[in-house]
Amino acid sequence: MLQDNRKTILLLDEPEISLHVDWQRELINHIRALNPNCQIIMSTHSPSVYYKGWTDKAYRISELFSPTDFSNQSVIISETYNQNDPVENIKSEFYKLTGNKATTKLYLINRLINNINSLTKAQCYEILNFLKHENIFPDVITFTTLISKLNNYSDAKEIFDLIENEIYSTLYKVRPNEITLNTLLKKIDSVERGIKLIREIGEKEKLQLRPDIISFSTILGKAKNNEEIRLIEETRKYFGIKHNEIYLNKLSFKR
């Protein structure tokens, strides 16, 4: 307010604290109204702060830095990331199980994967190859969880495609479900890529998988203009997916 429209940077740490949700949604716009030349950098735990037209500017910390970058900057984070290799931890816990059924072992593996902050594509393959060696066949939860731990779309899509190829899961005849699809959609970086994925999957009768309203809501979060919104709406209607209140609220914010 005191900068008289001069170029400046405003750093905010969790500005949503004690703010009503409606105020959180308008916070960025109010600041920019005071000074449109102000660059705003903030940390937040509330999606409401960036929900109204700023979702494409929001990043998870894990998407901005590698563990190595973190380690060079913070002793605390360094200690966290320098823990034992997560894949080795999974193997270690697996070998502690004696006499348990394969389903019980897989349940434990899925829980261990879920507790990991992030994985690389190479680590995902290492886990899958380890399970294959131990005659443990991953289920849809295994693949969905692995996808959720990857930091970019291309890697996540490669793991997703393994389900259809049945390289690791032949005996279970595993098929992706809506949760798997929506987890993958969270990794997209553009509306075009999201629409392409939905159409590609919809054309594969073998998968027997269709998007739901959560799928389109996730893609809508990436929309930057009316043309992209129009494309999303056309695709939603093509698949015959009915909107809900959450989707309509997001649509009104985007417009």
Give me the tens of pLDDT residue by residue for the chain, a chain 255 residues long.
Answer: 677 788 889 999 999 998 898 899 899 999 988 888 889 999 998 888 887 778 778 877 765 655 445 445 555 544 454 456 889 888 888 888 776 788 888 888 999 999 888 899 999 999 999 999 998 889 999 999 999 999 899 999 999 999 888 778 765 578 899 999 999 999 998 999 999 999 999 888 877 899 999 999 999 998 989 999 999 999 999 999 999 998 998 888 887
pTM over 0.85: no
Measuring CA to CA, which residue among 120, 126, 162 is closest to residue 144?
Answer: 162
Per-residue burial over 166-201, b if 16 or more Cβ lie within 10 Å, else e, is: eebbeeeebebeeebbbbbbebbeebebbbebbeeb
pLDDT value, residue 220: 93
What is the chain's length? 255
- Rounded Cα–Cα distance for residues 217 and 244 (Å): 10
Q: Which residues of 77-100 are buried (b: 16+ CB within 10 A; e: fewer)?
A: beeeeeeeebbeebbeebeeeeee
- Structure confidence at residue 205 (pLDDT): 80
